[in-house]
Amino acid sequence: MMAHPFNAQGRSEALTKMASGIVDLLIIGGGITGTGLARDAALRGLSVALVEKEDFAYGTSSRSSKLVHGGLRYLANGQVNVVRESARERKVLKQIAPHLVHPLPFVFPIYKGDSAMKMRAGFFLFDKLANVTDQEKHQVLSEQEVRTYAPGLKEDLKSGFVYGEYMTEDARFTMENAASAVEHGALVANHAEVIELIEADGNITGAKVIDKYSKQTYVIQSHVTVNATGPWAQQLLENTGYQAPKKLLLSKGIHLVFRKDRLPIEAAVTLTSKSGKMGFLIPRWNYVYVGTTDRRHDGPIDQPQSDHTAIEELLQLVQESFPSLELTENDVVGTWAGVRPLIAEGKSERETSRHDEVWKIKPGLFTVAGGKLTTYRQMADRILNEVATELERDIGNNERTMSVPLPGGVFEEAYEIFKEKAAQALADYQLSELTIERIVWLYGNKVFTLLAYAEEDKTWFEPLAPNVPAIKGEVRLALEQEMVLSVADFIDRRSSLLLFSDEHGRTCAETVAAIMGEYLGWTDNETDYQIEQFLQLQT
């Protein structure tokens, strides 16, 4: 059986191959924009290399609101084209990744003094732009029906609407795009940083890259290079001696996490304060998270933190919406912060468009700025239109990105039937209901790989730590098929335990490190270092 190409060994081989010839396209950045671009380009037959200085989805793409959404609120800002594209892309992403794009009813409460007619007009327009089916159209809810979804909403509630959206695990979705790119021929490496852009006769002809583990440097030659580093895009250009034609507006969004038993909602709920501030609640497993702020960020881009002022702002929004629950800061069990790379327009952060642009910096070098997760596939298409012009080649269209499933997304029967069968098969191993729900929700048909591990040795189905809804086999899977190189890679961006477990994955760090250390040949010192580096992460 041929070894899987998306792991540590495949990464090392990819770096060597990148430096052995000239690729059509070098992509800098392993967020959703870069990995989606690599996948699209590989599916079109281009030779592709992608390098990421940390890990896939290390930045914004693991700190989003984790929604595949139509952007209903953008209608208020007149961003009709953004809404149309976003709303229609949801179906495509659900089609290629049914295991990672999950239906989410979204409730919009109407309070005394609100204009229900105005809101209904907005929903009719949204339904039209999204080209929804009859089953997906918005529905009007009575006050009691809204309270069925969201018990405890404030007293001046009078009615509401419910419409269909989707949620995802953004980090795994990004990683699976990278894995799909590799399956279709791309050369991909995480923890590999660009330290220099190479220029010859006025053209950018590639980049010098350092492997952050081996410290070896590689010169990668390319016909076209794309800077897809999101919030770091302007910084990368300036650090390598180039200028962006426009400035980026970095906007920080934070989210708060509560236990669901303290905030018992059964659907996503839009929140509105008396002062006009808006937010939303999203239920996920045994947690509920609330988002999001939209404030200018002038601090460090790596690992931005949730500041106390922003935490207070969101907490007050929840307290005002659910006064009877008497929530306090002690009920906040976690937070996360992400930085949006918006294109500066002279407007406030909230009013600035989420559209994307492709900038030609020099012959052979492009930078992509702006954008959002839901529209990443169309962003890649717009970038590749520019790449095709630069290459002076017809490289076709992005049709295959609509039909080729992401890894984990191939099912012989309807996904709902698969879910039932997978849950039953996992239940035979006496796993908790939460563990089963989480595994099926995240891994899709990779559940069969986990079950195969258990056939070899049932210890792979042991929990990573007491009361942690994850099993040892997930670490093995990440090592063999998901290019995981650090404890943080696994606990944060492969398993989602940093943000969605009671102890933020800290109790299982030693077990994860032990499994990874044996597989990757770590010394005792390296194992201890990996644990220490993970424990320093803040949520």
Would you state the structure tokens that stand for residue 285, as one six-digit string?
Answer: 């497993």
Would you state the structure tokens that stand for residue 153, as one six-digit string?
Answer: 């909403």
Rounded Cα distance, 136 and 165, in Å: 9
Q: Widest CA span of the chain, in angstroms? A: 70
Q: How far is CA 129 from CA 209, 257, 460, in A?
A: 43, 32, 47
Residue 63 has pLDDT above 70, yes or no: yes
Residue 339 has pLDDT above 80, yes or no: yes
Would you state the structure tokens that stand for residue 390, as one six-digit string?
Answer: 């630069």
Would you state the structure tokens that stand for residue 90, as one six-digit string?
Answer: 């949801």
- Per-residue confidence (pLDDT) for residue 1, from 0 to 100: 43
Please check whether residue 234 lies inside any domain of the structure: yes
C-alpha of 363 from chain center: 31
Domain boundary among 320, 343, 366: 343
Provide the strand spans (E) within 286-416.
287-291, 295-296, 332-343, 356-362, 365-370
Q: How far is CA 489 from CA 18, 76, 517, 525, 531, in A?
A: 23, 38, 14, 18, 12
Task: Give residue 86's pLDDT band: very low, low, confident or very high (50, 70, 90).
Answer: confident
For residues 282 and 325, membership in a common domain is answered with yes
3 state DSSP class of 188: strand
Query: Tell me: the pLDDT tens digits for 181-234?
Result: 999 999 999 999 999 999 999 999 999 999 999 999 999 999 999 999 999 999
Q: What percentage of residues in the chain have a pLDDT greater than 70?
A: 98
Provide the 10 A C-beta neighbour count for residue 17. Answer: 16
The terminus-to-terminus CA distance of the chain in angstroms comes to: 41
3 state DSSP class of 172: helix
Whichever domain contains 502, its CATH number is 1.10.8.870
Please check whether residue 154 lies inside any domain of the structure: yes
Q: How far is CA 6 from CA 11, 178, 186, 373, 404, in A?
A: 7, 9, 10, 23, 18
Domain boundary among 305, 322, 343: 343
Burial of 518 (0-12, 13-18, 19+ CB in 10 A): exposed
Residue 303: which domain range? 89-166+249-343
For residues 280 and 157, membership in a common domain is answered with yes
Question: Residue 352 is inside which H or E element, if any?
Answer: none
- Per-residue confidence (pLDDT) for residue 349, from 0 to 100: 58
3 state DSSP class of 537: coil
Please check whether residue 398 lies inside any domain of the structure: yes
- Per-residue confidence (pLDDT) for residue 295, from 0 to 100: 86
Beta pairing class for 22-28 and 48-51:
parallel
Phi first, then psi, for residue 19 (nearest 5°) are -90, 5
For residues 419 and 477, membership in a common domain is answered with yes
Please check whether residue 94 lies inside any domain of the structure: yes
For residues 221 and 138, membership in a common domain is answered with no
Q: How far is CA 518 from CA 348, 511, 522, in A?
A: 50, 11, 7
- Per-residue confidence (pLDDT) for residue 354, from 0 to 100: 65
Q: How many residues does the chain have?
A: 539
3 state DSSP class of 360: strand
**Cβ contact 35:43 at 8 Å:** no
Query: Tell me: the pLDDT tens digits for 430-479?
Result: 999 999 999 999 999 999 999 999 999 999 999 999 999 999 999 999 99
Rounded Cα distance, 507 and 293, in Å: 30
Rounded Cα distance, 171 and 272, in Å: 28
Query: Within 13 Å of residue 238, how many CA atoms lie on the same side as its CB?
Result: 10
3-state helix, strand, coil in the chain (%, to 5): 40, 25, 35
Residue 273 has pLDDT above 90, yes or no: no
- Per-residue confidence (pLDDT) for residue 74, from 0 to 100: 76
- Per-residue confidence (pLDDT) for residue 350, from 0 to 100: 63
**Cβ contact 74:117 at 8 Å:** no
**Cβ contact 359:367 at 8 Å:** yes
Helices 32-43 and 170-183 sit at what angle, rounded to 10 degrees?
A: 30
For residues 160 and 269, membership in a common domain is answered with yes
For residues 178 and 254, membership in a common domain is answered with no
**Cβ contact 250:341 at 8 Å:** yes
Rounded Cα distance, 368 and 358, in Å: 4
Would you state the structure tokens that stand for residue 70, as one six-digit string?
Answer: 């139509």
For residues 261 and 133, membership in a common domain is answered with yes
Residue 492 has pLDDT above 60, yes or no: yes
Residue 261 has pLDDT above 90, yes or no: yes
Task: Give residue 170's pLDDT band: very low, low, confident or very high (50, 70, 90).
Answer: very high
Beta bridge partners of 251: 296, 340
Would you state the structure tokens that stand for residue 419, as one six-digit string?
Answer: 């879910």
For residues 178 and 156, membership in a common domain is answered with no
> Which residue did the predictor score with more confidence, 249 or 255?
255
Query: Tell me: the pLDDT tens digits for 115-145?
Result: 888 889 988 888 988 888 887 789 999 999 9
For residues 153 and 263, membership in a common domain is answered with yes
Please check whether residue 84 lies inside any domain of the structure: no
Nearest of 380, 372, 337 to residue 355 by alpha carbon: 372
Query: Tell me: the pLDDT tens digits for 354-383?
Result: 678 999 999 999 999 988 899 999 999 999
Residue 336 has pLDDT above 60, yes or no: yes
Would you state the structure tokens that stand for residue 121, as one six-digit string?
Answer: 């007009």
For residues 329 and 201, membership in a common domain is answered with no
pTM of the model: 0.96
Whichever domain contains 257, its CATH number is 3.30.9.10
Task: Give residue 347's pLDDT band: very low, low, confident or very high (50, 70, 90).
Answer: low
Query: Tell me: the pLDDT tens digits for 8-47?
Result: 999 999 999 999 999 999 999 999 999 999 999 999 999 9
Domain boundary among 323, 343, 363: 343
- Per-residue confidence (pLDDT) for residue 202, from 0 to 100: 96
Q: Which residues contact 323 (CB under 8 A, 6 or more apart)?
A: 154
Please check whether residue 237 lies inside any domain of the structure: yes
| Number of domains into which the chain is organized | 3
For residues 115 and 206, membership in a common domain is answered with no
Please check whether residue 521 lies inside any domain of the structure: yes
H, E, C per residue of 56-117: CCCCHHHCCCCEECCCHHHHHHCCHHHHHHHHHHHHHHHHHCCCCEEEEEEEEEEECCCCHH
Residue 82 has pLDDT above 90, yes or no: no
**Cβ contact 56:484 at 8 Å:** no
For residues 420 and 463, membership in a common domain is answered with yes
Average pLDDT of the chain is: 94
Please check whether residue 72 lies inside any domain of the structure: no
